[in-house]
Amino acid sequence: MLFVIEDTINGILMGSIYGLAALGLTLIFGVLKVINFAHGSLLMVGMYVAYWAVALTGLHPYVALLIVVPVMFLFGYLLQDIIIKPIFKAEKDVREPITVIIVTTGLWYILDNLSLLVFGPQYRNLQDNPLRGKMLEFGDMMISVPKLWGFCAAVACTAAIHIFLQKTRMGRAVRATSLDRDAASLQGINQYKIYNIAFGIGTAVAGVAGVALVPFYNVFPSVGVLFDIKCFIIVVLGGLGSIGGALLGGMIVGVIESVGPQFMAATWTEAIVYGLFLVFLFLKPSGLFGVKYDW
Amino acid sequence: MSPSLARKLPLVLAAIVALALPLVLRSPTYLHILILLYLYAYLTTSWNLVGGFAGVLPLGHATFVGIGAYTSTILSLQYGISPWIGMLVGAVLASIVGVIIGLPTFKMRGAYFALATIAFAEGIRVMTENIDTLGPFQINGPRGLQIPPLTTGFASFMFATKEPYYYIILAMLAGVLALTWFISRSKLGYYLVAGGEEPEAAQALGVNVARAKLIAMAMSSFLTAFAGTFWAQFTLYIHPKSVMSLDISFEIAFIALIGGRGSIAGPVLGALLLRPVGDFSRIYFGDTVPGLHLIIFGVVLILVMFFQPRGLQEPLTRIYTRVVDRLAGVREAA
């Protein structure tokens, strides 16, 4: 029984990091109405930035946030501004522009293989960082410290984005654009700037997830693919566009992945996650917290 | 010479060149590259029935490749049934699965449909990797199935040289192109295009959009499974990652989108452009610049979406007709 509790806790912690990775995806979808297939690659870029920031300067892994967040925000902002915006403009009157989805798929291939080109295929990890393999012990239970910090980061990010969207002027503009981009434009909101900012924030959050992962996870060019499909599943579970839903969806997936192996072969848990995803897609495509009309 | 005849003549020439090519080209490497090129042109043309004409974006067609490959291989390994019969059984099975997938997913919009097809395909791949025996059938999980090359010949769908494979896939490609041409001029083709562009308007005119899409899906998965059997007999070794991977589904979609989805020439043009780029950059830069061909794919995809969102077939057909007309001495119709 203790195992199950321990696994559940670790599942929730790891799942919240999945949720953190998916948070950016759901934010970008909420505003642009585009599923960003390159999101896993953005996470991969974030992990590399974090890795090099720590490996080259010897900083504490979490201090790297100060470098990663601005770099990733700028990266996402420019990516949207230079590559995605022109295509968006060409398909102005389509609500869910499919060409933009295709372009993000192209970006995914480019980013993953560029990093293979530049950094090579080897797995990298931060060998002697203070958090590696660190555990908290509660009686017989062991809880991973870097995952616990990842959980804190996920909750903090979710709260911060929620406050940003609800309480600030800019957040209100983002929500208005998300509801109706044309009406928002008529109110004097520059919708393309909002897209850039939403994409920038989404990418920066992927960067935070990268920082949370780097102390205990390997960095390699195709690491994003591992998270990509997981992120899609999480945002559909939680409801595409729902900020809190991403965190909850992530935890659900995390718990299945970590408790499941107690009862079946570990590889089967993946099939269960896909099955759950499909069930949700058919029965309640708007997810746990999604809005009905977004379907 | 009438303009329509002049425009068809080069196609006939291309067909003759394709038929005669193995007589001139003796290198197995080049034949291998050509066979895979035709195979992808075939796969993409089959995909195009759903992804092109019906206007949705399925990203899980590798499932049907896998079903075709596994069905014929299991039947021939364990029951000694000729792969040609297994091919048909696999195709029927694939179209049943296609309809099962299509029934709930066709109700979904753009991105949701793409995600659902990915989830289906990946779910089926993961299950295949986890199952060793399914009832009486030996699947072998992640180890896959090896086909021992014992008897070569037409009945066993196994050949010592590449030429027979070349002609088989060429015939399959010609067949699927003819079928697409026929469908695009049939009632079903118009229903599909109408339902893909304006589902509500088409429905208001009495078109049963859902039914048309399901028929297209059944045909598409049926044809895709054929390619799976061909793949298995060509490589003689299949495992879930080789015949059911997401990469196959994405490459098919890439070729269609770059070539031009919803057109007959698009998939063939896309395969003609992309496959050689991929193969040759792998041959020449594979060890120095790994993944270069995928970067090129990505860049080409973005550029095409940028400048020719309907794919490269549009400008290329325009140039083609102009050149042919000029050569044939036809004045542009006023």
Mean pLDDT value of segment A65-86: 90
Mean pLDDT value of segment A237-243: 81
- Among A121, A265, A271, whose Cβ lies nearest the Cβ of B123? A271
Chain B nearest CA to A193, separation (Å): 20
Which pLDDT does position A291 carry in this prediction? Answer: 60
Mean pLDDT value of segment A140-154: 86
More confident residue, B224 or B194: B224
Residues of B in contact with A91 (CB under 8 A): 309
Residues of A in contact with B115 (CB under 8 A): 35, 232, 236, 281
Mean pLDDT value of segment A78-90: 86
Identify the three-state secondary structure at position A142: strand
Backbone angles phi, psi at B162, to 5 degrees: -85, -25
Of A131-135, A274-278, B93-97, least confident by mean pLDDT is: A131-135
Of A92-101, A268-277, B148-157, B217-226, least confident by mean pLDDT is: A92-101
Mean pLDDT value of segment A157-174: 89
- B27: how many CB neighbours lie within 10 A of its CB? 9
Q: Is the pLDDT of residue A92 over 70?
A: no
Name the residue in chain A with its Cα closest to that of B101. Answer: A278
Residues of B in contact with A290 (CB under 8 A): none
Residues of A in contact with B52 (CB under 8 A): none
Residue A34's pLDDT band (boundaries 50, 70, 90)?
A: confident
- Looking at chain A, the whole-number percentage of residues with pLDDT higher than 70 is 96
Chain B nearest CA to A119, separation (Å): 11
Chain B nearest CA to A62, separation (Å): 32
CA angle B119, A4, A1 (to 5 degrees): 150
Of A176-185, B172-181, B244-253, B325-334, least confident by mean pLDDT is: B325-334
Mean pLDDT value of segment B119-142: 84
Q: Is the pLDDT of residue A71 over 90?
A: yes
> Residue A85's closest CA among A64, A67, A99, A68?
A99
- Among B57, B122, B295, whose Cβ lies nearest the Cβ of A98? B57
Model pTM score: 0.88
Which pLDDT does position B169 carry in this prediction? Answer: 93
Which pLDDT does position B318 carry in this prediction? Answer: 86
ipTM confidence score? 0.82
Backbone angles phi, psi at B70, to 5 degrees: -70, -45
Contact A35 B115 (CB under 8 A): yes
Which pLDDT does position A295 carry in this prediction? Answer: 36
Average pLDDT, chain B: 86
Top residue of B305, B307, B308, B310 to mutate, by most chain A CBs within 10 Å, is B305
Residue A96's pLDDT band (boundaries 50, 70, 90)?
A: low
Residues of A in contact with B129 (CB under 8 A): 267
User: pLDDT digits over A242-295, tens only?
Assistant: 888 889 999 999 998 888 888 887 778 888 888 888 888 778 777 777 665 443
Tokens standing for residue B93: 């099975």
Identify the three-state secondary structure at position A91: coil
Mean pLDDT value of segment B304-320: 84
Residue B223's pLDDT band (boundaries 50, 70, 90)?
A: very high
Identify the three-state secondary structure at position A143: strand
Residue B168's pLDDT band (boundaries 50, 70, 90)?
A: very high
Top residue of B101, B302, B306, B312 to mutate, by most chain A CBs within 10 Å, is B302
Structural domains in chain B (count):
1
**Three-state SS annotation for chain B:** CCHHHHHHHHHHHHHHHHHHHHHHCCCHHHHHHHHHHHHHHHHHHHHHHHHHHCCCCCCCCHHHHHHHHHHHHHHHHHHCCCHHHHHHHHHHHHHHHHHHHHHHHCCCCHHHHHHHHHHHHHHHHHHHHHCCEECCEECCHHHCEECCCCCCECCCCECCCCHHHHHHHHHHHHHHHHHHHHHHCCHHHHHHHHHHHCHHHHHHCCCCHHHHHHHHHHHHHHHHHHHHHHHHHHHCEECHHHHCCHHHHHHHHHHHHHHCCCCCHHHHHHHHHHHHHHHHHHHHHCCCCCCHHHHHHHHHHHHHHHHCCCCCHHHHHHHHHHHHHHHHCCCCCC
Which pLDDT does position A294 carry in this prediction? Answer: 44
Residue A233's pLDDT band (boundaries 50, 70, 90)?
A: confident
Identify residues of B whose CB sits under 8 angstroms from chain A CBs: 57, 104, 108-112, 114-116, 118-120, 122-123, 126-127, 129-130, 250, 254, 257, 289-292, 294-295, 297-299, 301-302, 305-306, 309
Instruction: Answer whether B39's CB lies under 8 Å from B169's CB.
Output: yes
Beta-strand pair B145-146/B237-238: antiparallel
Top residue of A88, A237, A281, A293 to mutate, by most chain B CBs within 10 Å, is A281
- A32: how many CB neighbours lie within 10 A of its CB? 25
Q: Where are the domains of chain A?
A: 2-224
Residues of A in contact with B274 (CB under 8 A): none
Which pLDDT does position B3 carry in this prediction? Answer: 66
- A286: how many CB neighbours lie within 10 A of its CB? 18
Of A9-18, A84-93, A221-230, B97-106, least confident by mean pLDDT is: A84-93
A124 has which bridge partners? A219
Q: Is B230 among the domain residues?
A: yes
- Residue-range definition of the domain harbouring residue B44: 3-328
A137 has which bridge partners? A142
Distance between start and end Cα atoms, chain B: 18
Q: Is B334 among the domain residues?
A: no
- Among A221, A268, A277, whose Cβ lies nearest the Cβ of B119? A277
Instruction: Answer whether B279's CB lies under 8 Å from A80's CB.
Output: no
User: pLDDT digits over A108-124, tens only?
Assistant: 989 998 998 888 888 88
Torsion over CA: A249, A252, A255, A256 (sign)? negative
Q: For residues B301 and B287, give the distance between their C-alpha atoms in angstroms, rounded to a whole number.
A: 24
What sections of A187-222 are H helices per DSSP?
A: 191-213
Chain A nearest CA to B239, separation (Å): 16
Contact A117 B130 (CB under 8 A): no
Q: How many interchain CB pairs under 8 A, A with B? A: 112
Mean pLDDT value of segment B12-40: 87
What sections of chain A are H helices per DSSP?
A: 2-32, 39-57, 65-79, 85-90, 98-119, 145-167, 169-179, 181-186, 191-213, 223-238, 243-259, 266-283
Contact B110 A106 (CB under 8 A): no
Chain A nearest CA to B121, separation (Å): 10
Contact A35 B290 (CB under 8 A): no
Name the residue in chain B with its Cα closest to that of A280. Answer: B116
Contact A106 B250 (CB under 8 A): no
Q: For residues B178 and A273, give the distance between their C-alpha atoms in angstroms, rounded to a whole number.
A: 41
User: The domain spanning residue B227 has which CATH number?
Assistant: 1.10.3470
More confident residue, B95 or B300: B95
Average pLDDT, chain A: 85
Identify the three-state secondary structure at position A138: strand
User: pLDDT digits over B264-281, tens only?
Assistant: 888 999 999 888 888 888
- Tell me the C-alpha to C-alpha distance, in Å, between residue A23 and each of A18, A230, B172, B176: 9, 12, 46, 43
A136 has which bridge partners? A143
Q: For residues B243 and B229, give the distance between their C-alpha atoms in angstroms, rounded to a whole number.
A: 10
Mean pLDDT value of segment B254-270: 88
Chain A nearest CA to B191, separation (Å): 21
Which pLDDT does position B5 carry in this prediction? Answer: 74
Q: Is the pLDDT of residue A151 over 80?
A: yes
Q: Is B333 among the domain residues?
A: no
Q: Is the pLDDT of residue A142 over 60?
A: yes
The beta-carbon contacts of B131-136 under 8 Å, at least 24 apart in sequence, are B136/B78
Instruction: Answer whether B171's CB lies under 8 Å from B260's CB.
Output: no
Interacting residues of A110 by C-beta distance below 8 A, sequence separation 6+:
B294, B295, B298, B299, B302
Q: Is the pLDDT of residue B331 over 70?
A: no
Q: For residues A216 and B189, give the distance between their C-alpha atoms in angstroms, rounded to a whole number.
A: 54
Q: For residues B156 and B322, give the distance between their C-alpha atoms in angstroms, rounded to a whole number.
A: 47
Best mean pLDDT range from A22-31, B3-12, B278-287? A22-31
Chain A nearest CA to B112, separation (Å): 8
